Structure 1
Amino acid sequence: MKIKKKQFNQSNVIFYLGMFAVFLLSLTLRFWQLERFNTLVFDEVYYAKFANDYLTRTPFFNAHPPLSQYIIAIGIAIGTHLPFGKTAVNSMAGSLLSPWDYRWLNALTGSFIPLVVGALAYQLVPRRTFAFIAALFIACDGLFLVESRYALNNIYLVLFGILGQLFIFKSVEAEGKKRWLLLVLAGIGFGASAAIKWNGLWFLFGTYLILICAWAVRFIQGNRGNEEQSREVDSPLIPAESPVQKLTQLNFIEVGLSLAVIPILVYSICWIPHLHLNPTPNFWQMQTEILTYHERIKSGPSVHPYCSTWYSWPLMLRPIVYFYKTASNNAQPDPVLPPLPSGATETIFDVHAIGNPFLWWFSTLALILVAGVLIHRIVVWFQTRQVASVDSLEQQQPILFPPTAQMWMLLYLIVNWAANLLPWMKVSRCVFLYHYMGCSVFGALALAWWVDRWLYSPQTRLRGMGVTISFLIVGAFIFWMPIYLGLPLSQMEWKIRMWLPSWV
């Protein structure tokens, strides 16, 4: 007994050390030379400026809900009083600021996203290796790294959406005041995600869909889904119950509070500071103004050179160049750029908002496999029910779907991936690769589940596949690191990283 307890404690220590290492990696990469480009990069021309407008009380029109700009404004207010990060300053946001001032809070917030994704993975299936692999994969995603290093808003949208789902799953395993607290936190997360951008609602939409699925399965099974779960388990490493199926334990008041009332309240309250500064148009008029503004935006290269179609995102066919500049030692020093490498004739500084190619491509394959597994299970379940319906009542056995926690998790992943992607089919305006960031979390979770499963497989071939995929993802992260961080590259070094013509 003491030996087992000692092994358990050692396993816990290794797990927490691994997660701390992932966090430390994320933190270091996000803060490393955070002020290296002394300018407003990509949409910082909106978000950093709008954030400073709130601080200087300058009226303006905002085409998105205001929460992300409040957060950046808090970062600016704190950053201007910090005794470091002042190696360069500019007035592009409307005040004399260091890039550190309007970027540091995003960098800090983005550092926690891998941990939150790992916590969600562990909540779905309590396996440490699955949680660690999921956190590591997100930490090795270039798009999350790039978005975290600049005063942009997508990391907040994803973070709040994931937290909303994490808290709703934790609430079904709690009781009394703790459950109510978690339900309130879930509602705050969903409302805050929508208060970043309206597409933050996709996380709430996915939660509604998976709740409907859980109730549908329970109804089909004659309300026995939560009490008489099949003991069939695909792997001894996976428990038989899942927090996804437990969502049906929430009563009408709890669902209404966490998935409707609180999100609406949080979204509405977030507009108060903006409306205090900009009293017209009013709250309802602002919602109409935002909608009509985005409806007026067309699509195609004539609107923006990096517009991309929603169906191209899983293959990452059209990333975005956030910053691109060439420099030479023969020319005058550029105050926007860091010092050039000695002896360099022509240097390229490029920040590409591009995911980790191997992570995204393997995640897409993982999602296809997940869909295949679920379709096969549904077909088998349907066929079994048909056969059982013609047997005698004494011979019938309850055929439950999904019968294991891993099936519920896979259903959750595919439903939420679809909920974050398919609504974009109806969007006619120019859209970008970063709109896939919410989907990419569920893709990375699907891939992490397969890799974790393969690493524990008795088949050497599958174990080798899991190890190979992990090393390819880490290696790709290192290989494309220069265009995530904007490191100086020669023409040849830059070209070998542009694998597809559409990446340029």
Structure 2
Amino acid sequence: LKDGIAAFLSIVPVAGLVYTATWTGWFRSSNAYYRHWAESNPSAQWGWIPDSLRSLAHYHLEAYKFHQGLSADHPYEASAWTWLVMGRPTSFFYESPKQGTAGCELPSCTSAILSVGNPLIWWSAAICLGVLLFWWLGRRDWRAGAVLAGVGAGYLPWFMYPERTTFFFYAVSFEPFLVLALVYCLGLVLGRRTDALWRRRSGFYLVALFVVAAVLLSAFFYPVWTAEVISYQDWRFRMWMPSWI
């Protein structure tokens, strides 16, 4: 445990530097939002901190205050509890083109952009979180723990603000770690190099089947990711849950 805590503490400064580096454009700007706030708000207590860093800290504080108090109703708000099952994806665009317009040769057409993920990838990844939890606690695999930490850091804080208006697309902050969880489990399916040939071959076929299915399903959902004009019935055929409509 001590080694794990020490390793974590050694990573924190590096992570802080990497995060600060992502604000390079803001630092280099002369008129970015709150860029020169500290210059007009001197502080006796925190004056030893460079103005640029104090301004950045104030920017973060103001953003936190705004988002913490955001509680207006919205037709596409989605509780964090529903994100792992894609309970209420956000609709970014919806239009019903008239018959005879470009791409619409039927009485009823639809053009839409819905922030729904590939169900096979998303739901499988959600299930994989349970597998990683077992491998982390039972097998002490640090890789599983690292992926779970990434998911937890981007996901769990949202449960502290149940009254805040939230949307499904906020899950993009931890989506890469969901994909890593899926990759981890696919690696388990593939097996080890020392496994018997039949085991490796069976694992390969299963993983290949999964990848092919995911690609085909992506092609199926492509029209509602890119606002292609399709028939209304084809659009409804892709709305697998009533809450997606």
Give TM class, smaller chain: 0.7 to 0.9
Alignment partner of 1:498 out of 224, 235, 239: 239
Q: Name 1:321's counterpart in structure 2.
A: 91
Alignment partner of 1:448 out of 155, 170, 183: 183
Q: Name 1:484's counterpart in structure 2.
A: 225
| Secondary structure at 1:294 match in 2 | helix
- Please list the CA deviations of residues 238-286 of structure 1 after superposition, one character each: whole Å capped at 9, or x if unmatched: xxxxxxx7x88x6xxx963x33456457647267522589979974765
Equivalent runs, 1:285-364 vs 2, <5 Å:
286-298=59-71, 303-329=73-99, 340-341=102-103, 343-364=105-126
| Secondary structure at 2:176 match in 1 | helix
Deviation larger for 453-462 or 488-497 = 453-462
User: In 1, Cα distance between the equivalents of 2:69 and 2:214?
Assistant: 39
Identity between Structure 1 and Structure 2 (%): 19
Equivalent runs, 1:6-405 vs 2, <5 Å:
216-217=3-4, 256=13, 258-260=14-16, 263-264=19-20, 267=23, 269=27, 272-275=30-33, 283=55, 286-298=59-71, 303-329=73-99, 340-341=102-103, 343-377=105-139, 402=140
Q: Any conservation in 2 of the 1:451–1:466 contact (CA below 8 Å)?
A: yes
User: In 1, Cα distance between the equivalents of 2:76 and 2:122?
Assistant: 19
- Please list the CA deviations of residues 40-78 of structure 1 after superposition, one character each: whole Å capped at 9, or x if unmatched: xxxxxxxxxxxxxxxxxxxxxxxxxxxxxxxxxxxxxxx
2:151 counterpart letter in structure 1: W
User: In 2, Cα distance between the equivalents of 1:412 and 1:311?
Assistant: 22
User: In 1, Cα distance between the equivalents of 2:37 and 2:125?
Assistant: 45
Q: Does 1:413 align with 2:183?
A: no
Distance 1:285 1:415, change over 3 A: closer
| Secondary structure at 1:318 match in 2 | coil
Shift of residue 441 of structure 1? 1.0
Q: Does 1:437 align with 2:172?
A: yes
Q: Any conservation in 1 of the 2:118–2:214 contact (CA below 8 Å)?
A: yes
| Secondary structure at 1:327 match in 2 | coil
Distance 1:271 1:308, change over 3 A: farther
Q: Any conservation in 2 of the 1:413–1:446 contact (CA below 8 Å)?
A: yes
Shift of residue 291 of structure 1? 3.2
2:75 counterpart letter in structure 1: P
| Secondary structure at 2:32 match in 1 | helix
Shift of residue 496 of structure 1? 0.6
Q: Name 2:206's counterpart in structure 1.
A: 465
Shift of residue 353 of structure 1? 1.0
2:180 counterpart letter in structure 1: L
User: In 1, Cα distance between the equivalents of 2:187 and 2:21?
Assistant: 40
Q: Any conservation in 2 of the 1:340–1:347 contact (CA below 8 Å)?
A: no
Q: Name 2:157's counterpart in structure 1.
A: 423
Q: Does 1:474 align with 2:215?
A: yes
Shift of residue 326 of structure 1? 0.3
User: In 2, Cα distance between the equivalents of 1:262 and 1:467?
Assistant: 36
Deviation larger for 343-352 or 455-464 = 455-464
Distance 1:329 1:499, change over 3 A: same
User: In 1, Cα distance between the equivalents of 2:136 and 2:60?
Assistant: 39
User: In 2, Cα distance between the equivalents of 1:479 and 1:467?
Assistant: 18
Q: Any conservation in 2 of the 1:370–1:414 contact (CA below 8 Å)?
A: yes
Q: Any conservation in 2 of the 1:358–1:473 contact (CA below 8 Å)?
A: yes
| Secondary structure at 2:113 match in 1 | strand
Shift of residue 288 of structure 1? 4.7
TM-score where L is the length of structure 1: 0.39
Shift of residue 296 of structure 1? 2.9
Q: Which has the higher contact order (CA 8 A, sep 6+)?
A: 2
Structure 1, gaps ≥5 residues long: 1-212, 220-244, 331-338, 378-401
Q: Any conservation in 2 of the 1:455–1:467 contact (CA below 8 Å)?
A: no
Q: Any conservation in 1 of the 2:104–2:229 contact (CA below 8 Å)?
A: no
| Secondary structure at 2:111 match in 1 | strand
- Please list the CA deviations of residues 398-423 of structure 1 after superposition, one character each: whole Å capped at 9, or x if unmatched: xxxx4xxxx22111111111111111
Shift of residue 314 of structure 1? 1.0
1:449 counterpart letter in structure 2: Y
| Secondary structure at 2:96 match in 1 | strand
Q: Any conservation in 2 of the 1:348–1:494 contact (CA below 8 Å)?
A: yes
TM-score where L is the length of structure 2: 0.76
